Structure 1
């Protein structure tokens, strides 16, 4: 049985969902990729960024024009300013995900050689360059949680991508999308020598920043209609308006209210009974009292 989810990414066969690619302008995304642009997607936490990136990867790989790879760089956060440790983690995740999502084991076979040839400050650029040269299609790299990185590790990541940028697409990814909570212009990076570097200066090849917004009221209604279709349980008049009023369409809140009212409050024992305004108001109070920190 499907359910509301508050711990993405969304899996459409398990969760009620709004189609991820319907939440942003896919024509603009495809144009930016076709034009070989490097750009940013940013939005607050728990809005569906990762779900959208995974959906974009799947769509691009289903076509014949690009090889797309999703990479979450957050594991390198613990390295902080240790570039050697941070880059080994990032390069390792690139290789791991190439094998997992694409069935491509070549990047994993090149890791040690890239560090011997280029060191930690050039290994990522080296790996991406070699992969771009040997792959049959231009590469689109989707980097998630970039603003979780700290200090010189983040500086090195941005500068290695910037250094490879002129070689695209023959010897570097055609497009790199950086995703995080903040726009890159708002990054304030403290290097080991206490120099403060802004993200915009470390990555001045960004052509555009896109922001992923909240659900519309129509989206909220469509999401909750999936619960009715799945279980037969309906919502009283006015409940949908109340949900949108209380959440402003923030995706985590929309799903959390639905899960609380429809599953946690034992409404699932009485699917023939509608979800009333009283039930939804109580669900709201329970969320407030629980003080979840997701957002």
Structure 2
């Protein structure tokens, strides 16, 4: 099959024309090595899922990480029912892990836990059983709504400040990839301020002081992507440091 251009979903290099995924998020491998939690924010259909999926595959193939990319989108239907959202999220994690990871890296049976604590308990159990450190990429996490989103983010946040006291040494890295729409159309203003404001809110919920913002310019006059791609530093409205990648 001849390769083609694709903006309708994740890209595959053998099917689609695409920029090498590792060039889209050049700082991400270093953040994983630092055991950091970070946010990727960019318009829809600009390559976030493709880049994060490729990064997870590369990390796992290195033999050093059990890296998993999965979508939280199915949890949107749960609304404020955070118990249902937890069950959907953990089911998505298990399904994706069994499809993409070697059997030795699959999660064990998740222990029973009360609502509002299931994600933390499940990931703790997986970290203890897995022979490699975990690197988790939560795609479409902002599809979760209200109390469901707060519950999941707070469980993730709770593990980081006191790891490895709650999470064992192998629980060392996670990444949350969000998909907020700040698409720049013809004639519209630079979406950077809006993106920084939204990212500020996500980082605040995660208790983080820095993050990564990726902005893709889809205007016809934007020019060649390689020529316009650059990495800058910016600040959110509350002063958080952001690595700003423009492409």
Query: Given the two structures, how large is their TM-score scaled by the length of structure 2?
Result: 0.75
In the alignment, which residue of structure 2 is the partner of 1:158? 153
User: Structure 1 residues 122 and 75, CA, compared in 2 at 3 Å: closer, same or farther?
Assistant: same
Contact 1:158 1:202 in 2 (8 A): yes
State the partner residue of 2:60. Answer: 61
The answer (yes or no) to whether the contact 1:128–1:172 under 8 Å persists in 2 is no
Q: How does 1:135-284 map to 2 (within 5 A)?
A: 135-165=130-160, 166-168=162-164, 170=168, 173-182=171-180, 186=198, 199-204=202-207, 206-214=208-216, 246=220, 248=222
Task: Quote the Cα distance in structure 2 between the aligned partners of 1:78 and 1:184.
Answer: 27
Query: 2:25 aligned with 1:24, yes or no?
Result: yes
Structure 1 stretches of 5 or more lacking a match? 189-197, 216-243, 252-295
The 1:186–1:245 alpha-carbon spacing in structure 2 relative to 1, beyond 3 Å, is closer
The alpha-carbon distance between structure 1 residues 14 and 107, as it changes in their structure 2 partners (threshold 3 A), is: closer
Q: Deviations over 1:86-143 (max 9, x none)?
A: 11000111111111111448866523xx2x3x21211111111111111111110001
Q: 1:71 to 1:207 in 2, by over 3 A?
A: farther
Q: What is the CA–CA distance in structure 1 between the aligned matches of 2:122 and 2:172, rounded to whole Å?
A: 14
- Give the match's secondary structure for 1:141: strand
Residue 184 (structure 1) shift: 9.1
1:211–1:129 CA distance, 2 compared to 1 (3 A): same
Secondary structure at the counterpart of residue 137 of structure 2: strand
Question: For 2:221 and 2:47, how far apart are their aligned partners in 1?
Answer: 15
SS in 1 for 2:15: coil
Structure label with greater radius of gyration: 1
Q: Deviations over 1:201-244 (max 9, x none)?
A: 4310x2532122337xxxxxxxxxxxxxxxxxxxxxxxxxxxx8
Q: Distance in 1 between matches of 2:41 and 2:87?
A: 25
| Partner-residue secondary structure (3-state), 1:38 | coil
- The 1:44–1:141 alpha-carbon spacing in structure 2 relative to 1, beyond 3 Å, is same
Shift of residue 162 of structure 1?
A: 1.1
Give the Cα separation in 1 of the matches to 2:40 and 2:211.
6
Q: CA deviation at 1:14?
A: 0.9
Partner residue in 2 for 1:48: 47
Return the structure number with greater helix share: 1
* Paired position in structure 2 for 1:96: 95
Distance 1:61 1:105, change over 3 A: closer
Offset of residue 31 of structure 1: 2.2
CA RMSD of aligned residues (A): 2.7
Aligned residues: 207
**Alignment check: 8 A CA contact 2:108 2:126 kept:** no
Maintained 8 Å contact 1:80/1:149:
yes
